[in-house]
Chain A
Amino acid sequence: EAGVAQSPRYKIIEKRQSVAFWCNPISGHATLYWYQQILGQGPKLLIQFQNNGVVDDSQLPKDRFSAERLKGVDSTLKIQPAKLEDSAVYLCASSLRAPNTEAFFGQGTRLTVV
């Protein structure tokens, strides 16, 4: 079974630039999550999709972060403009449905803002 695919694996940008991350969940998984993991901390949920609808985006900094999941499959997360404190690993995960189902994580995108 193919896992959750994310790209790019690494990205270095200057502050105030824009960046986009892409996630392809496991086929058939209705729920998709984007997490931000700052070094030394646990993942923090940014946004959760159920199919192409948003379930929870309460911790998404909407002034600079946006995410979409067109057609309920692939998803993109964008940061515009980036700040130094956005340096983190951005993890995408998917599950068949929420709650009570196992989540499968991608390899993550390590973002460095300089």
Chain B
Amino acid sequence: KNEVEQSPQNLTAQEGEFITINCSYSVGISALHWLQQHPGGGIVSLFMLSSGKKKHGRLIATINIQEKHSSLHITASHPRDSAVYICAVNRGNQFYFGTGTSLTVIP
């Protein structure tokens, strides 16, 4: 069983929709990261969280340490948001990655 589970695996949305991607983890962590990966591109770090909530533009990330759960929200989604979103956690010296959520936003 993977230490980090994401849902959904694939998501298609209409432009303008509110999007939520979920991440659950089963190990104790010191921080959680949300990453974005465009096709053929590298990975960009969106957020690093250890508690509460962070907001950057149309992106919002929340974490509930007790429930071992985090969500990434995208408001007013746009086709350029189409990418794979990966949840990763810090445990000790390592990162553990989810398998990613592939998001497609249709104009």
Chain A residues within CB distance 8 Å of chain B: 4, 6, 33, 40-45, 48, 50, 55-56, 91, 93, 98-100, 102-108, 110
Contacts and interface: CB of A to CB of B under 8 A. Distances in A.
A56 B31 CA distance: 19
Interface residues of B, number: 26
B30, B48, B90, B93 pick with most chain A CB within 10 angstroms: B93
Interface residues of B, dominant DSSP: strand
A44 B97 CA distance: 8
B22 interface: no
B76 interface: no
A50 B94 CA distance: 12
B26 to A, nearest CB: 15
A107 B33 contact: no
A41 B99 CA distance: 5
Nearest to A58: B94
Given A99-B30, A102-B48, A105-B35, A91 B42 contact: yes
